Homo-oligomer: A and B are copies of this chain.
Amino acid sequence: MLRPLGDRVVVKVITAEEKTQGGIYLPDTAKEKPQEGEVIAVGPGRVLDNGTRIPPEVKKGDRVVFAKYSGTEVKVDGEEYLIIRDSDILAVKE
């Protein structure tokens, strides 16, 4: 399992084929269209200049939208994940 550091979040990307009815459909022509995923693990958050930590605004299980090309792809035990900064997540789908 991956434990993300700082303000990083591990996300399982959801590809278009996996989307349920009523889900988020992305514009086909956009060059940097957002992507959808599920949060698998969150880091402890970033440290402010006054020494306190700000925990990420997302939690495990959240369905999130983020800009394409954010983060770094990692493969663990045959599964592919994305490690992305909390601040690169645009919104939670509720």
Contact = CB atoms under 8 A, between A and B. Distances in A.
Contacts of A34: 72-74, 83
A4 to B, nearest CB: 5
Given A3-B92, A8-B90, A92-B2, A44 B24 contact: no
A8 B88 CA distance: 11
Interface in A54-68: 54, 57-58, 65, 67
A94 interface: yes
Given A44-B57, A54-B51, A57-B44, A74 B24 contact: yes
Interface residues of A, number: 46
A51 B47 CA distance: 10
Interface in A24-61: 24-27, 30, 32-34, 44, 47-52, 54, 57-58
